[in-house]
A and B are shown apart, each in its own frame.
Chain A
Amino acid sequence: MTGDPAEPGDLLHLGFWMLTSGGHVGSWRHPATRPERLLSIDHYIETTRLAARGKFDMVFFEDTLAARERNGGVFGEVSINSLDPLVQIAALAGKTSDIGLAASFSTTYHSPRVLADKFATIDRLGGGRAGWNMVTSGAAAGRNFGSGSHPEHAVRYSKAHETVDAVRAYWASAPASPQGQPVLIQAGMSQWGLDFAATYGEAIFAAFRDIEGGRAFRTNLRTLAVEKGRPADAIKVLPGFMPLIGSTSAEIADKKAFYRALIHPAMVRGMLGERFNFDFTDYDLDRPFPLDDILDGLEDRPMIGGDRARFVKEIQPGDTIAAYAERMALKPSAHLTCEGSPEDIADFMQAWLQGGACDGFIMQALQIPVELELFVDQVVPVLQRRGLHRRDYSGSTLRDHLGLRQPA
């Protein structure tokens, strides 16, 4: 019965995805964003406390090991989002309480001892609130760690298995925190990733197109976990999610237009530059897509920022630069979105939870703090009234919040 939908009374598990100024690429240009504060710990303390006011299970940091680039230099039109996430959650442990503190850190570019020591220390400092999102890192990292070649997928996952086994062995010999050991989180939905998730994962950060896809994935993962001798509910599936909250359809339309306008044409050129390793600065966006011009640059670092050959195939005959960019921007995000009133957003979350398609969400806010505050003040009370979300924390550790047992 591993595909069971949530029982009545099961609570949503919510992680807040901590991006500097928000999940929208233009959020650093939002009038409420003070960009200079994005490099101060105070911004992250305030945001974490806001998420704790909304009784989120955890805040969640992603990680990258290379500067974001476009055509041979840094992508200067977008916000930095790459300070060391462990330095951040260690600092947050000193000034926040209750809420879990989870961070991504690479199994490819850190040794087991480094990983074990850092997460165990932060777990003790925070009183049992740490989570580790085990990532194998993107291709761009390779050039900062050796020969420039990033290991292939299968090699990275094989190394990840070894690394996590070694980390857990270190943890077993280290002083325990109140939750025993940090929570193991995992993202990645390839076959390799699925086996890894079923073996080690306690919370799975996932991307689904629709509720059926979520249900199929969750059922399959729970079955695999049971085959590996683990209880089905030892793994929580948490898809990425970003709501757009507005009380009327007019308000929603205005908000969409407002956020679309935050994407400056220079950012559009930058995103195209990142994708094709080509400088679009001096190109009129209304001219035909300069396919012949970009082909030379594609050979240089073909994998950085995605598989460029695949992107080239998406360019249609007769496309202007703007037409391609518009299609690129409108392409459904890998993560879920939902527009509507607080009740609509709650309906959406409830349908996914009770449809057996997830155990909760890792939520982004379009802008921090404005859109997070809106969610906490308007959507959270609806979820609480429906009995879908805790009114207060019933435990003090991340394991408590996620309903996970301590490792043996």
Chain B
Amino acid sequence: MIASDRQMILGLRLGGLGEGADLAEQAGLDFVLLGDPTGELDGVVGADALSVAAFLMTTTRKIGLVAGVRDDWAPFNVARALASFDLLSGGRCGWVALRASGDDDPARSEEHLDVVLQLFDSWEDGALVFDKASAVFADRTKVHRIRHAGAYYTVDGPLNAPRSPQGRPVLFQPIASASDAADVVLTGLDDLGPASRASVPTAKLLAEAAIDLGADSGARCAALADRLVDAFAKGECDGFVLAPANPETDIPLLADQLVRQLQRGGLATAGPGVGDFRARLGLARPANRFAGLIGP
């Protein structure tokens, strides 16, 4: 049966300008995810997932905020934006590292991610001192250059933002391009099984469930709840990302019916947890690779 210490992680994919995030928070979901798998919002010019997620930082209170970020934005920009987001929001930031469409060079994407992760560590915990009397805002011995010189990127660092509350924002990756650094791996509901579970030994594995409730919403919610509970109980995954086809009508129904059915099974979270997004997902705070190194 279901181990009592396992908690189903539940997120909701949003489009547009993030409409529905408030309902997701009220329903007790763990996070909302902005941006489709290409990193665009509804494929529309003039829509940026990270900006919408940042907006939701002040219109919601606790729920985790995850934005798709494509790697055709320089690693320094990506790291700074996400660290800023995590700092300003008090540890609510997650991101999906997405490969830019039309770029088939995985080595470049891997190097991009590596640089971003190095930059997240360029300030050690405790680097901010705030000592007014001796005029030490930051301890410069705890801030380090990354001195990265790779095949695709040359980045000296350090980042111009300190280490963020979660150590680094929660890293989501699609299963096809997942790395060892992933905190959360995303796959499709129909792709669950022993093979995908075995390929993700340490990260949380979440299955994306496309949802189109239509007219007979009650029956569809019940059937879907059964399927999700079954997959979770078998240990095929650690939770789900609900992806409604018609957000305007489906999200209220999901929040009202599906989430309640899952919660009645004692599976989904009952409401906003304590601590930051990482703690809420049951993830440990990552160590800093530069900790203890003296000097820049």
Interface residues of B in 181-213 (CB under 8 A from A): none
B58 touches A41 (CB 8 A): yes
Q: Is B20 an interface residue (CB 8 A)?
A: no
Q: Verify A39–B87 contact, CB threshold 8 A.
A: yes
**Least distance between B246 CB and chain A CB atoms (Å):** 19
Interface: B54 (CB within 8 A) = yes
Q: Which of A76-84, A213-221, A235-243, A379-387 contacts B (4 or more CB under 8 A)?
A: A76-84
Query: Contact check: which of B80, B137, B143 meets A28 at CB < 8 Å?
Result: B137
Q: Is the CB of B55 within 8 A of A91?
A: yes
Q: List residues of chain B with CB within 8 A of the CB of A124.
A: 17, 46
User: Pick the contact of A83 from B56, B87, B134 — CB < 8 Å?
Assistant: B87
Q: Which of A171-179, A250-258, A327-335, A343-351 lines the interface with chain B?
A: A171-179
Q: A125 — nearest CB in chain B belongs to which residue?
A: B55
Which residues from chain A contact B81 at a C-beta distance below 8 Å?
84, 86-87
Q: Which residues of A contact B135 (CB under 8 A)?
A: 29, 77, 264, 266-267
Interface residues of B in 105-144 (CB under 8 A from A): 128-130, 132, 134-141, 143
Chain A residues within an 8 Å CB radius of B44? 174-175
Known: A66-B160, A76-B137, A83-B161. A29 touches B88 (CB 8 A): no
A99 nearest CB across to chain B (Å): 14
CB distance from A214 to the nearest CB of B (A): 32
Q: Please report whether the interface of chain B is mostly helix, strand, loop or mixed according to DSSP.
A: mixed
Asked if A370 lies at the interface with its beta carbon under 8 angstroms from chain B, I say no
Q: Is B156 an interface residue when CB atoms closer than 8 A count as contact?
A: yes
Chain B residues with Cβ under 8 A from A393's Cβ? Answer: none
Alpha-carbon distance A74/B161, docked complex (angstroms):
11
Q: Does B45 contact A (CB under 8 A)?
A: yes
Question: Which of B71-79, B261-269, B277-285 sits within the interface?
Answer: B71-79
**B136 engages A77 (CB within 8 Å):** yes
Provide the residues of chain B in CB contact with A83, threshold 8 Å. Answer: 80, 83-84, 87-88, 161
Are B59 and A95 touching (Cβ within 8 A)? yes
**Is there a chain B Cβ closer than 8 Å to A302's Cβ?**
no
In the assembled complex, B155 has its CB within 8 A of some CB on chain A: yes
- A174 to B159, alpha carbons, bound, how many Å? 32
In Å, the complex CA distance between A78 and B76 comes to 22
Given the interface contacts A41-B89, A94-B59, does A35 sit within 8 Å of B48 by beta carbon? no
Contact A143 B80 (CB under 8 A): no
Q: Is B90 an interface residue (CB 8 A)?
A: yes
Binding site for B on A (CB under 8 A): 28-29, 35-36, 39-41, 44-45, 64-68, 72-80, 82-84, 86-88, 90-95, 109-111, 113-114, 116-118, 120-122, 124-125, 143-148, 170-171, 173-175, 264, 266-267
Residue pair A74, B134 in contact (C-beta under 8 Å): no
A275 to B130, CA, bound (A): 23
User: Residue on B with the closest CB to A169?
Assistant: B45
Q: Is B157 positioned at the interface, with any CB of A under 8 Å from its CB?
A: yes
- Complex: chain B residue closest to A126, CB-CB: B55
Kindly list chain B residues whose C-beta atoms are within 8 Å of the C-beta of A175: 44, 46
Please state if B85 and A170 are interface contacts (CB–CB under 8 Å): no
Cβ distance A120 to chain B, nearest Cβ, rounded Å: 3
Given A87-B81, A121-B47, A170-B46, 20 further pairs, Cβ under 8 A = A28-B137, A35-B137, A36-B130, A41-B58, A64-B160, A65-B77, A73-B141, A73-B143, A76-B136, A77-B135, A83-B80, A87-B50, A88-B54, A93-B55, A94-B55, A95-B59, A109-B74, A116-B45, A120-B46, A148-B156
Closest residue to A141 on the B side, CB-wise? Answer: B76
**Contact between A125 and B58 (Cβ–Cβ < 8 Å)?**
no
Q: Give the B interface residue count (CB, 8 A).
A: 55
Residue of A nearest to B159 (CB): A67
List chain B residues, Cβ under 8 A from A93.
55, 58
Some 23 contacts from A to B, beta carbons below 8 A apart, are A39-B162, A44-B88, A65-B160, A67-B143, A72-B296, A73-B141, A74-B143, A76-B143, A84-B80, A90-B51, A91-B89, A94-B59, A95-B59, A110-B74, A114-B48, A114-B73, A125-B17, A145-B76, A148-B154, A148-B156, A175-B44, A264-B134, A267-B135
Cβ of A45 and Cβ of B58 under 8 Å apart? yes
The smallest beta-carbon distance between B144 and chain A, in angstroms, is 9
B158 within 8 A of A: yes
**Inter-subunit contact B158/A67 (CB<8 Å):** yes
Inter-subunit contact B130/A35 (CB<8 Å)? yes
- Distance in angstroms from B181 CB to nearest chain A CB is 21
Interface string of B83-108 (1 = CB under 8 A from A): 11101111000000000000000000
CA–CA, A67 and B46, complex, Å: 30
Kindly list the 5 A-B residue pairs having the minimum CB-CB distance in the complex, ordered from nearest.
A174-B46, A120-B46, A264-B135, A94-B58, A90-B54
Which A residues are in CB contact (< 8 Å) with B83?
A: 83
Q: In angstroms, how far is the closest chain B Cβ from the Cβ of A85?
A: 9
List residues of B (139-153) whose CB comes within 8 Å of A's CBs. 139-141, 143, 153
Structural contact, B46 and A121, CB atoms closer than 8 A: yes
- CB neighbours of A148 from chain B (8 A): 154, 156
Binary contact readout B158-175 vs A (1 if CB under 8 angstroms, 0 otherwise): 111110000000000000
* CB-based contact A121/B48 at 8 Å: yes
Inside 8 A of B88's CB, which chain A residues have their CB? Answer: 39-41, 44, 83, 87-88, 91
Q: Which one of A82, A125, A146, A174 lies within 8 Å of B51 (CB-CB)?
A: A125
Q: B292: CB under 8 A from chain A? A: no
Interfacial chain B residues near A78, Cβ < 8 Å: 137
- Determine whether the beta carbon of A146 is less than 8 Å from that of B154: yes
Could you tell me the distance between the alpha carbons of A65 and B74 in the complex, rounded to whole angstroms?
Answer: 11
Chain B neighbourhood of A84, CB < 8 A: 77, 80-81, 84-85, 161
| Residue in A closest to B156 when the chains form the complex, CB atoms | A143
* B134–chain A nearest beta-carbon distance, Å: 7
Give the CA-CA distance A82 to B87 in the complex, in Å.
Answer: 12
- Interface pair A147/B154, CB less than 8 Å apart: yes
Instruction: Name the residue in B54, B88, B295 with the highest tally of chain A Cβ atoms < 10 Å from its Cβ.
Output: B54
B57 is an interface residue with CB less than 8 A from chain A: yes
Residue of B nearest to A82 (CB): B160
Q: Is B52 part of the contact surface with A, judged by Cβ < 8 Å?
A: yes
Q: How far is the CA of A28 from the CA of B72 in the complex (A)?
A: 36
Across-interface contacts of B132 in A (CB, < 8 A): 28-29, 35
Asked if A173 contacts B45 (CB within 8 A), the reply is yes
> Once bound together, how far apart are the Cα atoms of A109 and B77, in whole Å?
8
